[in-house]
Amino acid sequence: MLPLYDKKIIKGDIPWVVVSLIFSNVFLFFIFLSYPNLSFFFFSLENIWNGMLFTIFTSLFIHVNFFHLIFNMWFLWVFGYNLEMKMGHFKFLIFYLVCGICGALLFGLSSESNLIGASGAISGLLGGYLILFPKNKIKSLFPPIYLPAVIYVFVWFVFQLFSIGQIDSSVAYFSHIGGFIAGILLAKKI
């Protein structure tokens, strides 16, 4: 299910962190297209053990292809807007990064593969949305209906759980789950 928008938007300031994250991800995507060895920036526990701690952050800004980038940035816009307005700019940025880190760590514990993409952080946004905006109506593209956020996020999460273990899947479902759980726990504290 692809979310189109939330029917209820919190009016307020411009979501500067969301806009900055989208701009940064798109900008870095095009910069990294010409970079010959991106694996230097990928997250893995091996890289962490080898002192490359920065990869837990750099991996959040690298996407495997244009569709990976677009879907992550679209979810960031749809779910990040209200979260940033509710949390404030700085808390939202910390929330986003911590969810991304937690997603990466759970992925690292479940796989020896490299990880790239903002999916753990984006999944954390859905966890936060579940806690802070459960009754908001999310318009989905397919099916073209409004769903309460609690139902939309529940269906999304069940899909993540049932997708674990797919043969030849390049999707980091454990990163999604780790970010989602972190989003739920952190949103309760904010």
Q: How sure is the predictor about 168, in pLDDT bands with cuts at 50, 70 and 90?
A: low
Q: Which of 84, 63, 79, 101 is nearest to 14 (CA)?
A: 84
Distance of alpha carbon 150 from its chain centroid, rounded?
A: 17
Cα–Cα separations (whole angstroms), residue 21 to 42, 128, 157: 18, 17, 24
Calculate mean pLDDT across residues 96-112: 96
| pTM reported for the whole predicted model | 0.95
Q: Which of 126, 137, 133 is nearest to 75 (CA)?
A: 126
CATH superfamily membership of 14-133+174-189: Rhomboid-like (1.20.1540.10)
Quickly count helices (H) and strands (E) in the chain. Answer: 8, 3
pLDDT in tens, 124-139: 999 999 999 999 999 9
Write the burial class of residue 123 (CB in 10 Å: 0-12 exposed, 13-18 middle, 19+ buried): buried
Tell me if 127 sits within 8 A of 99, measured CB to CB: yes
Calculate mean pLDDT across residues 81-86: 97
Q: Which residues pair with 137 in a beta bridge?
A: 148
- Comparing 39 with 81, the larger pLDDT belongs to 81
Which residue, chain included where needed, has tokens 């479940």? 110
Q: How sure is the predictor about 174, in pLDDT bands with cuts at 50, 70 and 90?
A: very high
pLDDT in tens, 11-41: 888 999 999 999 999 999 999 888 878 888 9
Provide the angle, in degrees to the nearest 10, between the axes of the packed helices 173-189 and 149-163.
140
Q: What percent of the chain has pLDDT over 90?
A: 86
Query: Going along the chain, which residue ranges are E strands?
Result: 3-6, 137-140, 146-148
